Structure 1
Amino acid sequence: MKKKTLYRCSGCGFESIKWLGKCPTCNSWNTLEEVVVELKSMQTRVRQASKKPIKKLLDVVSNKSDRIVTGINEFDRVMGGGIVKDSISIITARPGAGKSTLLLQISDAIAQKGYKVIYASGEESDSQIKNRADRILDKIHENIWVVQETSLDNVLDAVEEVDPDMLIVDSIQTFTMEASLPARAGSPTQTMECANALLQIAKTEKRPRAVIVVGQMTKNDELAGLRALEHLVDTVLIIEDDNDEELRVLVSSKNRFGSIENGFFQMCEKGVLSIDNPSEFFMTKREEGEIVSGSALTVIKEGTRAIITEIESLVSKSFTPYPTRIGETLGKDKLNTLISILEQRGGINLYDKNVIIKTTGGIKIREQGINLAVIMSIVSSVKQQGIESNIAFIADVGLTGELKKVPSLESRVKELERMGFKKVYVPKDSFIRESSFKKIQVIELKTLMNVISHVYNH
């Protein structure tokens, strides 16, 4: 038999494939001693699924509705209605974005529904996980088990012992399998062997389990490791964040069980809170009749959902030859383009003005349908005349100053009507069925100058 070298703690028996100064389990210093052990053959460790008979596709039973609904609305939405019971998902984010916190909240949510969860961590000790749970959970449920381990073989043994409905592995780059030693943790060999073993755990026909894996993120904000890891899993989730903002966006870049959706969360002391009504979160609440200059409202599309978003602008006198152009949630090149359109096609000079643009709530803008709202917020700031808070703008603006159509216009207008808006400006000939809307006036105009004149009665 092959042999390998391990480091074993003389105090508690913890084993590691490399020497550590401090034992992560009992916190003792200089207690890890080198030992030589025999390596079991691969056949004794690989858990093989029983051979499945061939079936006609017509005879296969679909399990679309077989999901675990967590009750965390934004997470369930991104997952397509809940976690599929025989699925494997991977979630990644920058350090401190809240992925471990979110997973602990998910564990608690499904534990309260009677499901058993194992939370296996190769990065944090069980006491660290317990401290986080004490901070964000009202009460720790008895259906949650914690495994502080870097050997996936031992985690799989714990799965056989507890028989959980969900397994969380945080993070896969810290785990190893005995059959793949001496390859180090995080290497392509170890990562893919661990991922394939977890796939077998999830896809067992007699005992399906949901598996969620944490993947580390590179400095380029991409999932670390081989692209094959993304192909292997059913769902790929990314938490986007700005370090100085509370907003967290859960982005689904792949989902075999639903459409590609985004979920919105707010980071606070009690964890990651689901923003169940984003349209309220991304605009400022004002009293009826209260009008503020430099604000314009629009509707963006995030996945299949329409969300009302407030664009804020500040225009001030510049005392330097080169005015400042800042777009906190908008690309600088795009902002300069819109300013040029406004100057040339809207008749408003900004050559000696600083222009700053941001969105309420810090949501990043990725589409063209907000361009008219951006320009109108600048116009409002220049004129120091506010726009009524029940008016919205949905259109792209071309270099000619003409309004351009945007996709899913009707669903955007429906969201405005749901939220009590009275008017919306859209491009001419948008082919929108005005008869579908009883409580909102749809105003179709051809050019930017037409919109400015109509809003300010010129």
Structure 2
Amino acid sequence: MGKIKTRYVCQECGAESNKWLGKCPTCGEWNTFVEEFIDKPVVTKSVGISNNKKPVPLSQVVIDDEVRYKTHMKELDNVLGGGIVKGSLVLVGGDPGIGKSTLLLQVANTVGMSGQKVLYVSGEESLKQTKLRADRLSIKCDQIYMVSENNLDYIVKYVEELSPDILIVDSIQTVYNPAVQSSPGSVSQVREATATLMKISKVDAVATFIVGHVTKSGSIAGPKVLEHMVDTVLYFEGDKNHTFRILRGVKNRFGSTNEIGIFEMTFKGLKEVLNPSEIFLSNRPESAPGSVVVAGMEGTRPVLVEIQALISNSSFGTPRRMAVGVDHNKMVMMMAILEKRLGIQIGGCDAYLNVVGGMQLSEPATDLAIVAAVISSFKDKVLEEGVVIFGEVGLTGEVRSVSHVEQRIHEAIKLGFKKCILPKGNLEQTVSGIELITVENVEEMLNYLF
């Protein structure tokens, strides 16, 4: 019997080494090398996505009408760009218990009720466990075929027998190819399984959803090539202790990226939140210093959320800075602008910033609202009711123009706001139903508000 050969593979980036290493020299992560057997050659089928190997001129490529399956969930259809594209490969990632399996089971029900055949492959739960969840969600569609399987060869066989329109694999980290000598969830197994599912998706025109686990840092576990191979990457975000869930599209070959869909987790499954701005502002306190409403954008959707700031005297030698929902460095930069350009001495105070509702705001248009919230808390003065703010702030204190102004203003009007503070460069025409107040710099805004 020959000697069994092994190698060590980084589970983060796929780098290989002949010996175990504490730190991966490629990605810099610690304790990610896992021993894998290589005593047998890896035999894999061709993963080509087309049987036509002959190159053709671009002008002769025939484009058929894009077939989409409607999920009848407006929030999900919006994130996908108008529905599930036939033959697409979609990766859904998220924390454990966030609701990925629940969402996909509801999707299977809605498309199944429309006449499409769905094959749901569960690699983590038995059929009885999946059935219990389906009963809780009141799902009784006969077009959904369930199977509990991890072996990739059997999954391919079931697809060939049933010829489904939709294939759901939950999850990709549990699927293994018998020809690959490594454990399920390893870099090699995830890569080979995804390549096989990609071939099924493209050659057989089967819309495929695969569930991916995430690491403690929040990225999808497995090689980065996994996200490059798929057509669409969706992240399911939210706190398990809160009811709201955010489905964010970070890659989409068939639609816009950075779109979001907002859901509420209930006992009977996920419920769409069609007006997130109203939900996020429903419990906003009245006459509270440090509370400001900002008109943000998530993809092409305007969302009004509340930013709260708390500035207090520090009892430590080094003041604390804490930000939730916005970049910590952005808050520090806005405070530095106030201290340098306006002479407001807040450098020795503790500063806390929070975006209500669990939203993550990263666009520059939130700068002006952050400044207003910080000053409102520092001076302990309440902002005027019915005011919404947005604008980018430069390091010299100037207020710069932002995009999607009309959408932001119309969302504010819809929710009953009477005044809007915005950059002067964005004012092109008056809008009925709301008073537009333009400012060129931070000092003008503070003089108006305080």
Q: Give the TM-score normalised by structure 1.
A: 0.80
Letter in 2 for 1:342: L
Letter in 2 for 1:192: R
Residue pair 2:322, 2:353 contacting (<8 A) in 1 also: yes
Is there any run of 5+ residues in structure 1 with no aligned partner, and where? 1-38
| Corresponding position of 1:142 | 142
Alignment of 1:199-348 (within 5 A): 199-204=198-203, 208-260=205-257, 261-284=259-282, 291-348=287-344
Distance change in 2, residues 1:455/1:67 (3 Å): same
Letter in 2 for 1:364: Q
| Corresponding position of 2:447 | 453
CA distance in 2, matches of 1:322, 1:232: 47
Letter in 2 for 1:447: N
CA distance in 2, matches of 1:47, 1:276: 40
Residue pair 1:300, 1:369 contacting (<8 A) in 2 also: yes
Alignment of 1:16-415 (within 5 A): 51-52=51-52, 57-58=58-59, 60-63=61-64, 65-135=66-136, 137-178=137-178, 180-204=179-203, 208-260=205-257, 261-284=259-282, 291-350=287-346, 353-415=349-411
| Corresponding position of 1:444 | 438
CA RMSD of aligned residues (A): 2.9
CA distance in 1, matches of 2:112, 2:208: 15
| Corresponding position of 1:19 | none
CA distance in 2, matches of 1:353, 1:408: 35
CA distance in 1, matches of 2:427, 2:280: 25
1:123 positional shift = 1.6
3-state SS, counterpart of residue 357 of structure 2: helix
| Corresponding position of 1:35 | none
| Corresponding position of 1:416 | 412
Distance change in 2, residues 1:317/1:306 (3 Å): same
CA distance in 1, matches of 2:124, 2:426: 55
3-state SS, counterpart of residue 421 of structure 2: strand
1:177 positional shift = 3.0
Residue pair 1:238, 1:252 contacting (<8 A) in 2 also: yes
Residue pair 1:91, 1:238 contacting (<8 A) in 2 also: yes
Residue by residue over 1:80-125, the C-alpha shift from the partner in whole angstroms, topping out at 9 and shown as x without a partner, is: 1110011111112222222112111111121121212111011221
Residue by residue over 1:268-307, the C-alpha shift from the partner in whole angstroms, topping out at 9 and shown as x without a partner, is: 33333332222222323569xx544321111112112221
1:258 positional shift = 0.7
Number of aligned residue pairs = 408
Residue pair 1:284, 1:360 contacting (<8 A) in 2 also: no
CA distance in 2, matches of 1:378, 1:165: 53
Is there any run of 5+ residues in structure 2 with no aligned partner, and where? 1-39
CA distance in 2, matches of 1:247, 1:61: 43
Residue pair 1:284, 1:310 contacting (<8 A) in 2 also: no
CA distance in 2, matches of 1:422, 1:402: 24
CA distance in 1, matches of 2:138, 2:408: 38
Residue pair 1:390, 1:423 contacting (<8 A) in 2 also: yes
Alignment of 1:7-22 (within 5 A): none
1:358 positional shift = 1.0
CA distance in 2, matches of 1:49, 1:325: 51
1:434 positional shift = 1.6
Distance change in 2, residues 1:340/1:440 (3 Å): same
1:50 positional shift = 8.1
Residue pair 1:339, 1:375 contacting (<8 A) in 2 also: yes
1:183 positional shift = 4.0
CA distance in 2, matches of 1:228, 1:337: 35
3-state SS, counterpart of residue 322 of structure 2: strand
Larger C-alpha radius of gyration, 1 or 2? 1
Q: Give the TM-score normalised by structure 2.
A: 0.81
1:67 positional shift = 0.4
- Tell me whether 68-77 or 158-167 shows the greater mean CA deviation: 158-167
1:139 positional shift = 3.4
Residue pair 2:281, 2:305 contacting (<8 A) in 1 also: yes
Distance change in 2, residues 1:189/1:317 (3 Å): closer
Residue pair 1:410, 1:432 contacting (<8 A) in 2 also: no
Residue pair 2:401, 2:426 contacting (<8 A) in 1 also: no
Residue pair 1:434, 1:442 contacting (<8 A) in 2 also: no
3-state SS, counterpart of residue 382 of structure 2: coil
Alignment of 1:430-441 (within 5 A): 430-435=425-430, 437-441=431-435
- Tell me whether 212-221 or 72-81 shows the greater mean CA deviation: 212-221
